[in-house]
Amino acid sequence: MGRFFLVILMLMTGTCAFSQSKFRKLYLRADSILRERYEKVTYDTQYICRPDRRLLIRVRGNLSGNSIRYKNVQDDNDSHAHISTDPRGTISLGVSYMGIAASYSINPGKLSGKNTDYELNISASSNRYILDCNYQKSNTLSGDITTKNGEYHIDKDLLSMKMLNITGCYIFNHRRFSYPAAFSQSYFQRRSAGSWLAGLSFMGGSINTSQNAPAGSHNLQIKVRNIALGGGYAYNFIHNKWLFHLSAMPTIIVYNYNNITMDDEKKEEYTHFPDLLINTRAAIIYNISPRYFIGSNLVVNSSTFGNFRHYTFQTKWHARMVFGFRL
């Protein structure tokens, strides 16, 4: 019996050693592919370079919100409204290894029960392209509506909003201009440079009367689906250890499916040329040394529909403070 257990132990030890060897080979292969991708030079090194250290750790403080303004001017019935979500603050820790990044966020407001809004951000970028996806679910919309019959206040938890924003763009001067240098710090911008952008934007979502609304409330449903094409310009200005970034990309809506339903009465909302989806970005980065940096950035996705007499303007914004170091 003792020999039997000895044989089993030897087989288990051999299997474990084989698994470890196989895992190590797989790790070394993956690391080799990442290293080759990371060190591949497809840019002008007088303007752009990679950091020497491949591991990047970032601590970020995030603040985001969404607001909607509406105005309708008619001869006998003027109305306007301004509603917005509560600002949502989170603290996140991110780790990036040779350009592959992941992060985890904590919402102190949710932990305390003061803010249960949910938000998901996914971003992929290089010197050649940018792809940003933002999904927001909120029950904190509140504000005021004014009509000829008086002013009404909308309390929190009466409206439920779900909104998805997707922005993608191509960077023409990708050999000399680096978007990641300003927003993910996976590159250094050595000299000032700018680039024209070509992009596509999508905004879709809904606003509905919440299940928490009191009995007798109007049943409201707003649906939005918009696709837009356009372009813009981005610039990185370098001064000593400072990087200043500013970019704007207006896109014109080429397809929409927008409608409002009030108590089963549906009304289509058609576009008026030029209805726009606009993506605006700004960033300031101070490189304390090749290892340490500190900075902030702001991303704003806004939409404008209608004309001077009848318009809707929405603004989704996300601001960050960041401190990071490389190992």
Q: Are residues 97 and 216 in the same domain?
A: yes
Number of domains in the chain: 2
250 in any annotated domain: yes
- Is residue 45 in a domain? no
Residues 25 and 99 in one domain: no
**What is the pLDDT tens value at each position of the chain, 327 positions in all?**
555 555 555 555 555 555 667 767 776 777 677 777 777 888 999 999 999 888 999 999 999 999 998 887 776 677 788 899 998 889 999 998 887 888 888 887 666 666 678 888 888 888 999 999 999 999 888 998 887 777 888 888 888 899 999 999 999 999 999 999 999 999 999 999 999 999 999 999 998 887 776 666 667 788 889 999 999 999 999 999 999 999 999 999 999 888 878 777 777 776 677 889 999 999 999 999 989 999 999 999 999 887 767 778 899 999 999 999 998
Instruction: Look at residue 278 and tell me if it is in a domain.
Output: yes
Are residues 170 and 138 both part of a single domain? yes
Distance from chain centroid for Cα 211: 28
- Whether residues 159 and 232 share a domain: the answer is yes
* Same domain, residue pair 136 and 32: no
For residues 31 and 84, state if they share a domain: no
In terms of domains, do 34 and 97 share one? Answer: no
Decide if 135 is inside a domain: yes
Domain with residue 103: its CATH number is 2.40.128
Residues 6+ apart with CB under 8 A from 171: 127, 128, 129, 130, 177, 179, 195, 197, 234
| Same domain as 212, residue 97 | yes
Three-state secondary structure of 144-201: EEEECCEEEEECCCCEEEEEEEEEEEEECCCCCCCCHHHHCCCCEECCCEEEEEEEEE
Q: Residue 22 in 3-state DSSP?
A: helix
> Domain limits at 11?
1-40
Is residue 21 located within the same domain as residue 157? no
**158 is a domain residue:** yes
Tell me, yes or no, whether 15 and 128 share the same domain: no
Question: Which residue, 320, 324, 310, is CA-closest to 69?
Answer: 310
